[in-house]
Chain A
């Protein structure tokens, strides 16, 4: 079975500050890991993913995430927050021929 835990349902940062959204996973098979972003009144879109290979993955809009097997983590970061980053972010785990399992989401607020 696979599961995802996102730490913090709401994160607030100042514009220009570091963004750190935390995700820990549980998987009995080698995981595929993802971050999706949901802007207000829109559906989800893929931000970045880790399947195999390089553990530091880069996504759209300056976001990146690092797969750390020893910590079972896949935290999302961005060096400098922008107002347009305000959205809800979902971590998800896949692999093992089962549908994706999503976390409960973290709402990111960016303060001017």
Chain B
């Protein structure tokens, strides 16, 4: 089954404790992206990657890091989480070109709470 898998789905952590949210897709997509969803703000893009070893900042990259060492994986790293990073995070993937034509496939989301 074609899917984007995120882990963990739910996480409560404390300020400053490094964490990683993993994202994996099995569709051989070149493009992968991370979004955060906050009430009243919709989806905002954090980082995206057009292919292996190619990443770029989205609209709200501060406080986040990403890496793309393999095509299928695109982890999101919070080196020193802060309470303003409490949010619902989504990973998405698509074929290159399709990210502008809307054919994005989304994971089920990771709800992160930073105390």
Contact = CB atoms under 8 A, between A and B. Distances in A.
B90 interface: yes
A104 B106 contact: no
A26 interface: no
Contact of A105 (B35, B42, B48, B103): B42
Contact of A43 (B4, B33, B42, B100): B4
A22 B103 CA distance: 21
A90 interface: yes
A46 B103 CA distance: 7
Given A43-B109, A44-B90, A102 B42 contact: yes
A99 B48 contact: yes
Interface in B59-99: 90, 92, 99
Contacts of A105: 42-43
A51 B101 contact: yes
B102 A43 contact: no
A49 B108 contact: no
A65 B8 CA distance: 35
Interface in A55-112: 90, 92, 94-100, 102-105
B43 A94 contact: no
Interface in B14-67: 33, 35, 40-45, 48, 58
30 contacts: A9-B40, A32-B101, A32-B102, A34-B102, A36-B104, A43-B4, A43-B92, A43-B106, A43-B109, A44-B43, A44-B106, A45-B106, A46-B104, A49-B102, A90-B42, A92-B102, A94-B100, A94-B102, A95-B100, A95-B101, A98-B100, A99-B33, A99-B45, A99-B48, A100-B102, A102-B44, A104-B40, A104-B42, A105-B42, A105-B43
Interface of B: 4, 33, 35, 40-45, 48, 58, 90, 92, 99-104, 106-109
